[in-house]
């Protein structure tokens, strides 16, 4: 058991080393969300009304961008694993006397922790464009912890995708198709009230929406962009998000581990 943990940590450490050896990857993966911040803050933001006097759009936007960014880190997970498969590195790992879950656990943990760096950059970018959370240090920290947990849960989805597709390029495309609608059919950027009714229901049950609403709460805002359909998730976003994360992990952790163990046995 202690080996299982230390093996996982070796794999996690590998990702940090990769980051140090090729820092460009991190730079470019944070440029995109920063561009989103600027785009929504200054281009679209002017025409989206928060509906509340005294609350800038940027206060609502930043939690949305955080969740979107964290959700998209599973692309890195999937692509990285698909590359390891392609290059035979997974074969090598599987030929080593290590715990059978170490490689995938280490990976999920590594990508989960990578989000710390990404969120720091995003937080600073948000601050620069006027984001000011009003809930105090404890709740703000809790908000970021919540985001990291979400990232960890989503990494497992990335792992299963990475181990299941044929190449890194397919992994990238598959992730995009899965995550893009989830992040936009949500309350992350615009109020769900403007959507057609069926879409409203989807958006309010969407885990991205509950995450965004949950973060908004933790950062000191009332849930402004979501409670139109009167659904339980939009009324209780934090609880709903936690349930979603537990469900995601309960499904994807066993599937990913099994996939890894059997990956060549076909």
Partner 1 sequence: MAKATTLTLMKSVIAENLVKTYDKGKVRALDGLSLDVNEGTVLGVLGPNGAGKTTTVRILSTLLVPDSGHATVAGIDVIKDPGKVREVIGLSGQYAAVDETLTGWDNLVMFGRLYHLSPQSAKKRAEELLEQFSLTDAAKRSIRTYSGGMRRRLDLAASLIVRPKILFLDEPTTGLDPRGRQEMWGVIQSLVKGGTTLLLTTQYLEEADSLADEIVVVDHGKVIARGTSDELKRQVGGERLEVVSESKDLDQVAKIVASVTGANIKRDDDLRQVSAPVTSGSRALIDAARALDEAGIHPLDIGLKRPSLDDVFIALTGHVAEEKVEEVAPTRGRRKK
What is the binding site for partner 1 (CB under 8 A)? 3, 6-7, 10-11, 13-14, 17-18, 21-22, 85-98, 102, 166-167, 263-266
What is the DSSP track for the chain?
A: -HHHHHHHHHHHHHHHHHHHH-THHHHHHHHHHHHHHHIIIIIIGGG---SSTT--HHHHHHHHHHHHHHHHHHHHHHHHHHHHHHTTHHHHHHTSSS-TTHHHHHHHHHHHHHHHHHHHHHHHHHHHTT----S-HHHHHHHHHHHHHHHHHHHHHHHHHHHHSSSHHHHHHHHHHHHHHHHHSSSSSS-GGGS-HHHHHHHHH-HHHHHHHHHHHHTT----SSTTS--HHHHSHHHHHHHHHHHHHHHHHHHHHHHHHHTT--
**Nearest to partner 1 of 99, 236 (CB atom):** 99
Cα–Cα distances in angstroms (integers) from residue 32 to residues 118, 139, 145, in the given order: 11, 27, 22
Closest distance between partner 1 and the C-beta of residue 178, in Å? Answer: 20
The residue among 11 and 101 lying less far from partner 1, judged by its C-beta, is 11
Least CB distance to partner 1 at residue 85 (A): 5
Q: In degrees rounded to 5, what are phi and psi of residue 263? A: -60, -30
Which is closer to partner 1, CB of 132 or CB of 169? 169
Q: What is the smallest separation between the CB atom of 107 and partner 1, expressed in angstroms?
A: 12
- Which residue number, 99 or 135, has a Cβ lying nearer to partner 1? 99
* Closest separation in Å from C-beta 155 to partner 1: 19
Output the smallest distance, CB 168 to partner 1, in A: 8
Residue 109 beta carbon to partner 1: minimum distance, rounded to whole angstroms: 15
Neighbours of 152 (CB within 10 A): 20
Contact 128, 223 (CB under 8 A): no
Q: Which of 161, 229 has the CB closer to partner 1?
A: 161
Shortest Å distance, C-beta 156 to partner 1:
21
Between 150 and 260, CB nearer to partner 1: 260
Of 140, 136, 8, 176, residue with least CA distance to 63: 140
């Amino acid at each position: 058991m202690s080996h299982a943990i230390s093996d996982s940590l070796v794999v996690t450490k590998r990702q940090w080393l990769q980051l140090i050896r090729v820092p460009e990857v991190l730079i470019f993966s944070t440029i995109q969300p920063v561009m989103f911040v600027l785009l929504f803050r200054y281009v679209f933001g002017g025409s989206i009304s928060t509906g509340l006097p005294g609350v800038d759009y940027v206060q609502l936007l930043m939690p949305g961008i955080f969740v979107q960014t964290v959700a998209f880190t599973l692309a890195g997970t999937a692509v990285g694993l698909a590359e390891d498969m392609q290059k035979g590195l997974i074969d090598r790992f599987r030929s080593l006397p290590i715990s059978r879950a170490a490689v995938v656990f280490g990976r999920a943990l590594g990508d989960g922790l990578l989000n710390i760096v990404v969120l720091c950059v995003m937080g600073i970018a948000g601050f620069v464009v006027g984001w000011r959370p009003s809930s105090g240090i404890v709740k703000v920290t809790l908000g970021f912890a919540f985001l990291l947990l979400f990232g960890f849960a989503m990494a497992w989805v990335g792992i299963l995708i990475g181990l299941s597709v044929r190449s890194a390029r397919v992994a990238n495309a598959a992730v995009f198709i899965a995550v893009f609608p989830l992040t936009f059919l949500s309350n992350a950027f615009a109020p769900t009230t403007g959507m057609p009714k069926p879409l409203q229901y989807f958006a309010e049950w969407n885990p991205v929406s509950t995450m965004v609403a949950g973060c908004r709460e933790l950062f000191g805002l009332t849930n402004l962009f979501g409670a139109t359909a009167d659904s339980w998730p939009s009324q209780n976003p934090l609880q709903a998000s936690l349930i979603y994360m537990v469900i995601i992990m309960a499904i994807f952790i066993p599937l990913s581990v099994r996939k890894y163990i059997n990956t060549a046995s076909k």
